[in-house]
Amino acid sequence: MSDANQKFKAWWLLSPTLLLYSLTFLLPVLLLVVMSFAKFENSVTEFGFYLGNYRKVFGDGITLLIFWRTVKLSVYITVACVVLGFPVAMVMRRAGPRGRLWLLFFIVSPLLTSIIVRNVAWVLILGRSGIINDTLREWGLIASPLPLMYNSFGVVLAVVHVYMSFMVLPIYGALQAINPSTEEAAASLGASPLRVFWFVTLPQSLPGLAAGCTLVFILSMGVYLTPVIMGGNFVVTLPMLITDVVRNQYNWPTASAMSLMLLVAIGAMVLVSSVVQKFGGRH
């Protein structure tokens, strides 16, 4: 059972997954890497080692602009998720078992409901003739509809709605793991509740916070549907640009280079987060 040679035998169980991944995950990503160095001219892709795609991506001004906008939006989304999510995680920790289950249900249920359904809901609320604008107009408070969507605000709001649970759950997990005696000890040593939170609770919850931020940031960088629906053509993000380049221009090499740009940004975030979590764990 617990012998080493028997343990290696257990790994054959991985083979279906590995086979699948190699066709649907590893090979595709490899292909994108190869294609990002291919030459695209007159709708013909020519494989080779050609840096023109990257030169274009970094040099045309627009791609880089869109990239930074995507990063900026992801940062807004992440910060908003922390601000909204941390208190919820704290309440979840202190709630009784029943209350905790209900909170968990409320937190997780949006996660498990279709993104598109949630976006439809936001369109009905924030749209030009959505609930908010209709109501305000009826009350005579505004003459023309407020611009609540087709801008960054609408995108951030809707994405926060979708990804909040990815922030709350890791923070809750980290808070759960804290030994309450450490907080009681701090209190008995004269720390006020706020200082207990600042010096004892928060530092111990950093691994969860880091995990949540990483997850939300990564997911936000790659989100396509919500910016399309909530931002329209007014908030173009990198995933939207990539989709456009492939679906309308058939320019695979440029789209591949952009995809790698996205992947590298995400990889950098994962790296930073793992360093932060390592240091967080040391304290």
Partner 1 sequence: MENEYSSRLGYRLLLIFTCLVITFLIAPLAILVVQSFTAESYLSFPPPSYGMRWYADVLNSADWQDSAGLSLLLACIVTPCSLAIGTMAAFALNRGPSRGRRAMYALMISPMVLPHIVLGLGIFRIALELNISDTMIAFVPAHLTITIPFVIITVGASLQSFDISMEEAAQSLGASKFGSVWYVTLPIIRPGLIAGAIFSFIISFDEFIITFFLATYSRTLPLEMFSTLMFQVKPSIAAVSSLTLAVTAGLTAILMFRGQVAGESGVIK
Partner 2 sequence: MSDVEIQSAVKKYGRFTAVDSLDLTVSGGEFVTLLGPSGCGKTTTLRMVGGFVRPTSGRIRISDEDVTDKPPQKRKVGFVFQNYALFPHMDVARNVGFGLRMANRERSEREKRVAEILSMVRLGHLSDRMPSQLSGGQQQRVALARALIIQPSVLLLDEPFGALDKQLRDHMRVELRELQRSLGISTLFVTHDQDEALSMSDRIVVMSEGKAAQLGSPSEIYERPNSKFVAEFMGHSNIFDCLVEDVSKDGASISLNGVGFFTNSPSARKGSRMTAMIRPENIEFADSGEKRGDATVAATVAGMEYLGSTVQVTLSLEAGISLVARQTNTESATGSKLRTGQNVAVRIPPEAVRLL
Q: How far is the CB of 146 from partner 1 (least distance, A)?
A: 16
- Are 172 and 93 spatial neighbours (Cβ–Cβ below 8 Å)? yes
**Dist. CA 178–CA 175, nearest whole Å:** 5
141 binds, among partner 2, partner 1, none (CB under 5 to 8 A by kind): none
Residue 3 interacts with, from partner 1, partner 2, none (CB under 5-8 Å by kind) = partner 2
1 vs 13 by CB, closer to partner 2: 1
Q: Which of residues 2-21 bind partner 2 (CB under 8 A)?
A: 2-3
User: Any idea which residue has 């450490």 for tokens?
Assistant: 182
Least distance to partner 2 from the beta carbon of 260, Å?
Answer: 42
- Residue 89 CA to residue 166 CA, distance in Å, equals 11
Give the chain's largest Cα–Cα span: 77
Q: What Å distances lie between residue 78 and 37, 83, 276, CA to CA?
A: 33, 9, 16
Q: Which does 52 bind (CB under 5 to 8 A by kind): partner 2, partner 1, none?
A: none
| Minimum CB distance to partner 2, residue 101 (Å) | 19
Binding of partner 2 at residue 97 (CB under 8 A)? no
User: How many other CB atoms sit within 10 Å of the CB of residue 81?
Assistant: 27
187 binds, among partner 2, partner 1, none (CB under 5 to 8 A by kind): partner 1
* Binding site partner of 110, from partner 1, partner 2, none, Cβ cut-off 5-8 A by kind: partner 1
Residue 138 lies near partner 2 (rule: CB under 8 A): no
Q: What CA–CA distances, in Å, run from 172 to 106, 119, 183?
A: 14, 26, 16
Residue 143's contacts (CB-CB under 8 Å, 6 or more residues apart) are: 137
Mark the segment that binds partner 2 (CB under 8 A) among 1-9, 49-57, 107-115, 158-166.
1-9
Which stretches of the chain bind partner 2, using CB under 8 A?
A: 1-3
